[in-house]
Amino acid sequence: MKVCPDIICFPGSPEAYPDRWVLMNVFTRDCLGIGPEVIEFLSGAEISRKSTYRTWEIWRFSHKDGLLADPSRFCRDAGSWGEVSNMTGESLHELLKEKCILIEDKKKYRARFSPKKSLLDTENLGNYHEQLGQHLLTIERTSPSHWWLAQKFNSDRQEIRDDNLYGAVQKSFLMDWLPRKIKNGQKVLDLGCGPGVITKMIAQLGANVLGVDPNKDFIELAQKEPKGARFETRNLDSPNALADIPSHSLDIIFMSDALLFYFVPYQREKPLSVQSLVEEIRRVLKPSGIFLSLEPHPVFFLLPWLGDSDHPFTVVTEYLNAQWRINPPLQKLTTAFLKNGFMISDLEELSANPIFQKVDHKALAFAKEFPLWLALEFRLFCNR
């Protein structure tokens, strides 16, 4: 049995509880609270067989608290870790195996980093979407699409929430960015518009905007208060989804938190064609038109929030080859457009706005240092 090479160890709450530490497997995202004697156990130090080892079960599926809640998956305040377990060496050994801190077969361990084969598959880790979907459906017994709406929007689904990072980062950015990009009278298409909140922000700037989404429930929500926008249910998986829109007729096409599905599909068995999408975007845009993309940051989105609030840090476990991550690397995202006649005419990495005081302090501090979204503007190269 060997110590897994993928673990880190750091103090839980060092000022108040200097003897409580966190062991984390940064790939599986398993966590365990431990006393320092467990570190000695892992180092192979000679300890009496009568020794006991303190552990705390601190792991939690923190993603259920919200899409942009703390993704670190452990109880952060060591003072609220609950009852300690005083374990023998044998029982500790078994627990460390269960938490993927000790591994017997490295090849077998690495094989677990594979797509889930079914909703009940607990052996293969799968990506973030598969883990979240499994938890919501089998543990929380709730609809993933309804859960997603509640993360980003108020209860009436007509405004972006102000009490989490969607407000402090995305809403704050859009209120400044959209008026700089969209002018009165322009023809705009919002692809994957969800319940149409951003579509309506665009309409209020005087644009003639159509929001489309494959989810008819989202479109019904959007149509309750259209606020000058139009909405249609369209199967965006179909290559003919935009066939009725005349060529070279749109000034702007906008996508938010939707383009990623063309690179890492929510359902692996139903891949989407990013090439077909880009070709259609180019076809319907005017020669002077632009494509605006607001997507999760290719590096920092959903990474653990570690360190002090005043000096946060994180751990990057993958980038070019996504296993757990759900968004493409920057090169892959941009190349899909650059190879089809577009150029990047603007790029902004979004930071948190500190005026959103309802947002958790640690979340705000992390998002001020590590951008969670990336805004890109593409123009047709011939118009440079």
* Rounded distance between C-alpha atoms, residue 65 and residue 31, angstroms: 17
Please identify, among 50, 79, 110, the residue that sits at the C-terminal boundary of a domain: 110
Calculate mean pLDDT across residues 228-239.
90
* Rounded distance between C-alpha atoms, residue 341 and residue 193, angstroms: 25
Residue-wise pLDDT tens digits, 101-115: 999 999 999 999 999
Same domain, 361 and 297: yes
Task: Give pLDDT, residue 45.
Answer: 61
Residue 32: beta bridge partners?
23
**CATH number, residue 171:** 3.40.50.150
Same domain, 36 and 165: no
Same domain, 91 and 158: no
Same domain, 100 and 178: no
Q: Terminus-to-terminus CA distance in the chain, angstroms?
A: 60
* Rounded distance between C-alpha atoms, residue 68 and residue 165, angstroms: 6
pLDDT higher than threshold 70 for residue 49: no
Q: Is residue 133 part of a domain?
A: no
Q: Is residue 144 part of a domain?
A: no
Q: Is residue 130 part of a domain?
A: no
Question: What residues contact residue 149 under an 8 Å CB cut-off, 6+ apart?
Answer: 157, 194, 195, 218, 221
Please identify, among 86, 110, 134, the residue that sits at the C-terminal boundary of a domain: 110
Residue with tokens 């996508």: 255
Q: Is residue 118 part of a domain?
A: no
Same domain, 163 and 277: yes
Task: Give pLDDT, residue 269.
Answer: 74
Task: Give pLDDT, residue 384.
Answer: 45
Q: Is residue 57 part of a domain?
A: yes
Same domain, 164 and 105: no
* Total domain count, the chain: 2
Q: What percent of the chain has pLDDT over 70?
A: 98
Same domain, 61 and 181: no
Q: Is residue 134 part of a domain?
A: no
pTM listed for this prediction: 0.91
Enumerate the H helices of the chain as residue ranges. Answer: 36-43, 89-98, 106-111, 128-135, 144-152, 165, 172-181, 197-203, 216-224, 274-284, 330-338, 361-369
Residue-wise pLDDT tens digits, 237-280: 887 889 999 999 999 999 999 999 999 877 777 778 899 999 99
Q: Is residue 139 part of a domain?
A: no
Same domain, 190 and 274: yes
User: Domain containing 196: what range?
Assistant: 154-383
Same domain, 163 and 263: yes
Q: Is residue 354 part of a domain?
A: yes
